[in-house]
Structure 1
Amino acid sequence: MIKNVLIVDDDQEMLVALQNGFQKYEDTFSVITAENGEEAVEKLKKSTISLIVTDLKMPRMDGFSLLQHVMENFPDIPVIVITGYSTPEMERMAREGGAVSYIAKPFMLDSLARKIMGTLRKESEGGTLHSVSSGIFLQLMEMEQKTCTIRLEDKSSGKKGVLFFSDGELLDARVNDLQGKSAAYEIFSWDKVTISIQNVCPPIANRVNSDLQPLILEASRLKDEADMNEESRKSERDEAEKPARPAASQKTKPVRDPIRRIRTVIDEQVGQRSGLVDVYRDKSWDGNVRQWSKVGSIFATGELQLCYVDRGEATDYIVLPGSDTIVLSVNPKCPRDKIMKVLHKL
């Protein structure tokens, strides 16, 4: 995973020299530049930054103000300070402001590069995983009560995000300028990700205030909803582009309704004491089905065929996955095993 390093300095010649000089390290990190603190803040909103290198004395918004902004809003991003006015007092102020390192002008480019790469290595001190399912992995973090900062990159879109865990609790999430639950929903919608683990979590406020499982399920629902809307728009476009066809001369055979078939089979084979309340199609369960299927694939239990769900409510549910997810609501005292055996044979 190539890391983005944001370099902030009002000296344009310095920025150009650093950008050109760091090209030989492009396999490790890429350079984004800003000429003052205000411009840097905008870059932080639009890009995922792993490290900031900033001058202290700049117009409009100086390095100290930028340090304060980073500590308040991006506490996981380390900052290296560079300045041409090196004094013990200024170095002390920079470190107290949150800087992890300090380098005085003039400096050798390779010296700064070593500081950058040494700091970036800490991002993945807990390991790096490729092409994993974010939802399953993060639930393991919760179960193991991990304290860490997790950086993720979506394999398909290239988007990057950050999650903050303390004792297994998700405190915050960030994707560009999204934070909290909105960012978490975005990250949990990614199917295959590269994950880097840093075994520390900065002291931050809890912006999520939720267990992990409801967040993952809601993210799946939102993704399914977005996919369905996109599929519907595509179908409408395809239909509009099709040439008109003459009416068919023969009537098409009606497709047998699976819901009616399920009702009939349960009535015939289980009887009036089946406890069946209703049978209906419900795509809102698709996110749950996808998560259950992923768990099944991890433990090699085979393809998900049906699932009994007890939520502690007045009715329980039996979910049958497929192109149209079908849900049976049943009395909790129903002959569950007999019903599921009948459904399994359909």
Structure 2
Amino acid sequence: MYDILVVDDDLFALALLEEQLKDYGDFFTPVYASNGKEAIEILGQVEISLLVTDLIMPGEINGWHLIEYIENFHPNIPIVVITGCKDEEKVTALEGRVREILLKPIRVKQLVKIVTNILNEDIASGNLKGVSVGSFLQLLEMDEKTCLLEVGTSPRNKGLLYIHQGKLYDAEYGDLQEYEAACRLIAMDNVSFKIKALPKLEIRRRIKGELMSIIMDAMKLKDEVKLCELELPPQTNDGEQRHRVFEGDWHQSVRDDDDEEDDPIIMPTAQPPRATEVAEQDRVPPQPSCSAEGCTGNLESILERLRGIKGYKGSGIMDFSGETLASDCLDSNLNLARAGAVFNDVFRSAQETAATSGLHVCNELTLKTRDFVIILCASGDASVVPFHLIAILDKDGNQALTRIQLAKIIPLAAQELN
């Protein structure tokens, strides 16, 4: 799955994009920022595969500054510009520096077609910078692709993943084979990919289980042994990896829906702001329960992922009664246990009210005090054992990035609790 970053100070436009892009969540996940500064913070903590940005934005970092930042620090991220800028000369000067320039008003389907075409072009050329192994495997699974995928960080540090109709059949990494090799390859960072077409030969499925379960095991292994710099295991006796080939071909599929009926238009207008939300994560299969002491330690370690966010004060995981299962607090003056219990009751009340009123289930709630912002979210279908997450920021904290990280924490916490 790809993460694409959408930046626009028009919060009404962002809200409209968020609503419409949900239909394309099987291919990419949009991440939203309302200004250039917030976008740079997200780029530092999230693997972004493509940037969509406006040009005219208030603050120190406008769209032109953001494009220059991408060119200097993330040159492999393709850029799409959407703008209502009337200065034709300044807009034209961006040609050659960005992949596409769209003038507002634009249609959402027009933007989606351009984004998917760019991502698919990168796949076809093997240029997959900024894409994790797990995300790419999920894309192959979704499209039921058949291929031999070579994954590596260097010519001497690489392995093979055998994919048949989207299913992971086998893997090789030096002397490692099957499930263990797959986990090691999926845990790699900053990889390059090569997709190989091979002669016809039947392949046996040696790796069982769902892909998401394998990815979660790989991430857990990565956290435990700190596989930040993976080394190539010893080669096999003949110095070559086994090459088992199976029937299949490789082709790309691009959404090509020219039907413009009910396709919203993004206009260059300012409207009242609306808070954005993060797309729900895939359901995580139940895992064996852990001991209370070990589980708490793992949960607290998971919460520490929030520490790098601007304005972060503390966070907690609670059951539905308001009891704190794990917490992480950076502010000694903050009574996180009491705050969590009180706001947990408020959240439960909001959920019950939504349910009895015939509204959709309330999975997220944002509360603001004079100096702080409190974000609460529910585990929902991601966990057999239901729980709530709470994160507390100062009033200038990065709420967008907090929501992104909370969405990623939910399946990890669910794995520990189930």
TM-score by length of 1: 0.43
Q: Which has the higher contact order (CA 8 A, sep 6+)?
A: 2
Greater fraction helix: 1
Larger radius of gyration: 1
TM-score by length of 2: 0.36
